């Protein structure tokens, strides 16, 4: 995808966010600031669409959140000029674990405890929405959504998913393009000769930080591989055999196609997302 195409997609998403919030009567918006790439891009797009004064980032660190993530979230807010609130979730998480202690006796930490953290964050973000009349944006991308790498009633909470039609590799490309254009002195009102998306966020291996030393690659194929297969399967509608004929490993192709099919129940419960033309749609 070349620079002109990336710029076109950015403007379409900004226009889509602006229209979606305006037609639904929302002047303010917020999202979780995890210190990750997806939330950074959504925040940037929201600031361009609504103004920095109308966006609030909410950092919700847990026992697994690294200092780098906290620092990166703070740097992003400073770069964008938006408000940042910090709501630690450790007390809530401990209370849930204490309540569940009896029924979870003799079990080990697993996906259950990971999802608890995501759902606590979803509750806090929705509480903020209700109290202040602020629209919540969810930050999932097409790669994660396709593979069900998201938590129902957790990080999927929200009214709009601005990145729902962007594969993770496209998110990386767009973030790099935003900085490139800013350094060239064409920041479009949200930058100008400086870094907008902190480079540390772009360079860092993606992680949900729901357990020690977690990385997305623990659960998903490398994004450049996953996205290539998903592009063929979802966008080009190439058959399973056709994808394999293009050189991809059969077991991996079967795993991706099977997972996409099984995760339909999640996608059917997600908020609308913006396609690359900035139009709200309901399914990938």
- pLDDT attached to residue 165: 97
How far is it, in rounded angstroms, from Cα 196 to Cα 152? 31
> Exposed (0-12), middle (13-18) or buried (19+): which is 269, by Cβ within 10 Å?
exposed
Tell me the two tokens of residue 143: 């790669």
Tell me the two tokens of residue 45: 């797009």
- pLDDT attached to residue 194: 86
What length is written for the chain?
284
How far is it, in rounded angstroms, from Cα 142 to Cα 229? 12
Beta strands 29-32 and 135-136: pairing type? parallel
Tell me the two tokens of residue 236: 């080009």
CA dihedral 271→174→121→88, nearest 10 degrees, is -160
Determine the distance from the C-alpha atom of residue 189 to the mean position of all C-alpha atoms in its chain, rounded to a whole number. Answer: 23
Which single residue is written with the structure tokens 């991996």? 252
The H or E element that residue 56 is part of is: strand 55-59
- pLDDT attached to residue 190: 54
Determine the distance from the C-alpha atom of residue 116 to the mean position of all C-alpha atoms in its chain, rounded to a whole number. Answer: 18
Tell me the two tokens of residue 155: 């990080």
- pLDDT attached to residue 1: 85
Could you report the per-residue pLDDT of 57-115, keeping only the tens digit for each? 999 999 999 999 999 999 999 999 999 999 999 999 999 999 999 999 999 999 999 99
pLDDT in tens, the chain (284 residues): 899 999 999 999 999 999 999 999 999 999 999 999 999 999 999 999 999 999 999 999 999 999 999 999 999 999 999 999 999 999 999 999 999 999 999 999 999 999 999 999 999 999 999 999 999 999 999 999 999 999 999 999 999 999 999 999 999 999 999 999 999 875 444 555 789 999 999 999 999 999 898 888 889 999 999 999 999 999 999 999 999 999 999 999 999 999 999 999 999 999 999 999 999 998 76
Has this prediction a pTM greater than 0.85? yes
**Could you tell me which residues come within 8 angstroms of residue 110 by beta carbon, excluding any fewer than 6 positions away?**
none
The H or E element that residue 257 is part of is: helix 250-262
Strands (E) located in 79-184 = 83-86, 135-136
Q: Right CATH number for 3-216+263-281 from 3.30.420.10, 3.40.50.620, 3.30.750.200, 3.20.20.140?
A: 3.40.50.620
Which single residue is written with the structure tokens 């303010």? 28
Helix, strand, or coil here: 167? coil
Answer yes or no: are the C-beta atoms of 248 and 242 closer than 8 Å: no
Instruction: Tell me the C-alpha to C-alpha distance, in Å, between residue 194 and each of 6, 76, 96, 176.
Output: 19, 12, 43, 12
What rounded mean pLDDT belongs to the chain? 95
């Amino acid at each position: 995808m070349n620079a002109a195409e990336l710029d076109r997609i950015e403007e379409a998403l900004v226009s889509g966010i602006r229209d979606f919030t305006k037609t639904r009567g929302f002047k303010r918006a917020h999202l979780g600031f995890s210190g990750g790439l997806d939330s950074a891009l959504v925040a940037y797009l929201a600031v361009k669409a609504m103004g920095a004064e109308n966006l609030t980032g909410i950092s919700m660190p847990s026992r697994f959140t690294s200092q780098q993530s906290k620092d990166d979230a703070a740097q992003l807010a400073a770069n964008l000029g938006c408000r940042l609130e910090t709501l630690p979730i450790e007390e809530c998480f401990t209370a849930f674990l204490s309540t569940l202690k009896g029924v979870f006796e003799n079990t080990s930490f697993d996906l259950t405890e990971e999802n608890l953290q995501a759902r606590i964050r979803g509750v806090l973000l929705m509480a903020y929405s209700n109290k202040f009349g602020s629209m919540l944006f969810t930050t999932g991308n097409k790669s994660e959504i396709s593979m069900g790498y998201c938590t129902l009633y957790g990080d999927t909470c929200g009214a709009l998913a601005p990145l729902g039609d962007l594969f993770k590799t496209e998110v990386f490309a767009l973030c790099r393009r935003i900085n490139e254009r800013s350094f060239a002195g064409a920041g479009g009102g949200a930058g100008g000769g400086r870094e907008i998306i902190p480079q540390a966020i772009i360079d860092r291996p993606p992680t949900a930080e729901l357990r020690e030393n977690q990385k997305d690659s623990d659960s998903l194929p490398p994004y450049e591989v996953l996205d290539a297969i998903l592009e063929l399967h979802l966008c080009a509608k190439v058959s399973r055999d056709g994808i394999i004929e293009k050189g991809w490993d059969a077991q991996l192709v079967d795993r991706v196609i099977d997972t996409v099919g099984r995760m339909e129940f999640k996608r059917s419960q997600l908020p609308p997302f913006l396609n690359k033309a900035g139009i709200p749609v309901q399914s990938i």
